[in-house]
């Protein structure tokens, strides 16, 4: 987690099986509804004017980067 100007950046990584090429958008999954990822994407995009990026880690696993505008920056 860190701050970059008016943005808050949160990075979450794991060392699981990672994402297949069809799953790198963060919405398609082989099991489950994927509803949690959709809710997070909608919340970050609509409420914080930010973005969610899903990336495979070179070492295996997944890296999720949330980039959100801080409230004071949204009000400007």
Nearest-angstrom CA–CA distance, 47 and 62: 24
In a domain, 10, yes or no: yes
Q: Which two tokens stand for residue 50?
A: 């930010």
* Residues spanned by the domain of 8: 1-16+33-67
Strand ranges for the chain from DSSP E: 2-4, 7-13, 51-56, 62-69
Nearest-angstrom CA–CA distance, 3 and 23: 28
Q: How many CB atoms lie within 10 A of CB 52?
A: 19
In a domain, 25, yes or no: no
Residue 61 has pLDDT above 90, yes or no: yes
In a domain, 38, yes or no: yes
> Is this structure's pTM higher than 0.85?
no
Confidence at residue 28, expressed as pLDDT on a 0 to 100 scale:
47
Residue 2 has pLDDT above 80, yes or no: yes
In a domain, 48, yes or no: yes
Per mean pLDDT, which range of 2-11, 47-56, 59-68 is the poorest? 2-11
Summarised one tens digit per residue, pLDDT across range 15-55 is 988 876 655 555 444 556 578 888 999 999 999 999 999 99
In a domain, 74, yes or no: no
Domain count for the chain = 1
In a domain, 26, yes or no: no
């Amino acid at each position: 987690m860190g701050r970059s100007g008016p943005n808050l950046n949160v990075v979450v990584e794991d060392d699981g099986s990672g994402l297949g090429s069809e799953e790198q958008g963060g919405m398609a999954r082989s099991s489950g509804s994927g509803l949690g990822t959709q809710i997070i994407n909608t919340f970050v995009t609509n409420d914080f004017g930010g973005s969610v990026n899903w990336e495979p880690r070179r070492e295996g696993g997944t890296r999720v980067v949330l980039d959100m505008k801080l409230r004071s920056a949204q009000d400007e």
